[in-house]
Amino acid sequence: MRFFLDTANLDELRAGASWGILDGCTTNPSLIAKEGIPIAERIRQITEIVDGDISAEVVATDCEGMLKEGRPLAAIHKNIVVKVPLTRDGIKACSIFSKEGIRVNVTLCFSAGQAILAAKAGAYFVSPFVGRVDDTGWDGIQLIRDICGIYKNYGFSTQVLSASLRTVNHVIDSAKAGAHVGTMPFKVMNSLFDHPLTDRGLEQFLKDHAKAFQPPAR
Ligand code: G3P
Per-residue pLDDT at 54? 98
Mean pLDDT of 178-201: 98
Q: Any catalytic annotation for residue 120?
A: no
Per-residue pLDDT at 214? 85
For ligand 1, the distance from its centroid to the CA atom of residue 164, given in whole angstroms, is: 4
pLDDT more than 70, % of the chain = 100
Cα 70 from Cα 23, distance rounded (Å)? 22
From residue 116, give the alpha-carbon distance in Å to each of 91, 123, 146.
Answer: 11, 10, 11
Ligand 1: atom nearest CA of 185 is 4
Ligand 1: atom nearest CA of 132 is 9
From residue 41, give the alpha-carbon distance in Å to each of 32, 107, 140, 155.
Answer: 10, 22, 33, 37
Q: Is the pLDDT of residue 218 over 90?
A: no
Per-residue pLDDT at 113? 98
Which of 31, 106, 129 has the most ligand 1 atoms within 8 A of CB, as the residue to mutate? 129
